[in-house]
Amino acid sequence: MWKAQVLVPIALFLVLAAVVAPEPRARGARAPAVSHATSLGPEGASRPASTPGRIWQLVGTIDRVNRAERRLVIGTGAAAAQTVVAVPEHTRIRHRGHPSGLDDLAPGRSIRVVYEQVAEGNTAHSIDVLSGQAQ
């Protein structure tokens, strides 16, 4: 009787673990790279894990920079999919891990933007310039 009480839960655990376990990868293998965010939200953006509903993350290429209005137009690779993001003074901009500024952003560069949707439009919280020019 006690064997059934002990062995049945263990067997059930092992079966469930085998069902939900990820497929094994070769040692040192990396997960496939994602070129841009998945389409979970508006304009091809995805919501970062564990954030409020109005914060979005977008990986794309800078199409235009308007330094006078402090705005970026970002393309995500899909046809006619562009996002306009306002860049306030307090926005954290980083290039290769170092603090940077709006002057270092240029069309053709790959970036990751975390932004918030507000009634006036999209407002950037942080911008990370990814390595070099877009491919």
Q: Where are the domains of the chain?
A: 42-133
pLDDT confidence of residue 22: 55
Query: What is the second-level CATH architecture of the domain 42-133?
Result: Beta Barrel (2.40)
Each residue's pLDDT tens digit, 113-128: 999 988 888 999 999 9
Cα 52 off chain centre by:
15
H-state helical runs in 1-135: 2-20
pLDDT confidence of residue 55: 87
Burial class from Cβ neighbours inside 10 Å (0-12, 13-18, 19+) for residue 95 reads middle
pTM for this model (two decimals):
0.59
Each residue's pLDDT tens digit, 107-116: 999 999 999 9
Tell me what the mean pLDDT of segment 48-75 comes to: 82
Each residue's pLDDT tens digit, 24-33: 555 554 544 4
- The total number of residues shown for the chain amounts to 135
